Amino acid sequence: MFIITMSLIVIGLIIIHNLQISILMSVVLLPVVYTFFEYIWQQTPGKMIMNIVVIDQYAQNPDFKTCLLRSIIRMIPFEAFSCMGSRSRGWHDRWTKTYVVPKDRLLSLQELVKRETPVIQ
């Protein structure tokens, strides 16, 4: 997140030559970038490097609204500190009922959820 934010600010400075506008531009564009990556690939570039993915409570890809909400919640000041404590899930995960899991465990989690979910007829 830091690298993407700094990149957006630098690009804004190069194009616009105004620090305040470039910071505002990064605050507006950052949720768009995160939403795009997580909706399309279930991963941001950092998650790709770490080989982890975002899933919803049913071990499926989060929908667009959920990805957008996760990205907006990240903009809350001090949200990064929400991962500290006994439960190491950030507010953006808790409030949207999403989880970040190792990609190699995704299929086994999906099978487990499928077995545990009752079929309604």
Confidence of residue 92 (pLDDT cuts 50, 70, 90): confident
**CA neighbours closer than 13 Å in the CB half-sphere of residue 59:** 17
Q: Cα–Cα distance between 72 and 12 in angstroms, integer?
A: 20
Q: What is the pLDDT of residue 46?
A: 87
CB 106 within 8 A of CB 55: yes
Confidence of residue 17 (pLDDT cuts 50, 70, 90): confident
Query: pLDDT tens, 19-67?
Result: 777 777 777 888 888 999 999 999 988 899 999 999 999 999 999 999 9
Q: Cα–Cα distance between 31 and 40 in angstroms, integer?
A: 14
Q: Cα–Cα distance between 24 and 8 in angstroms, integer?
A: 10
Ranked by mean pLDDT, the top range of 12-16, 50-54, 115-119 is 50-54
Query: What is the rounded (10 degree) CA torsion for 37, 43, 47, 50?
Result: -140
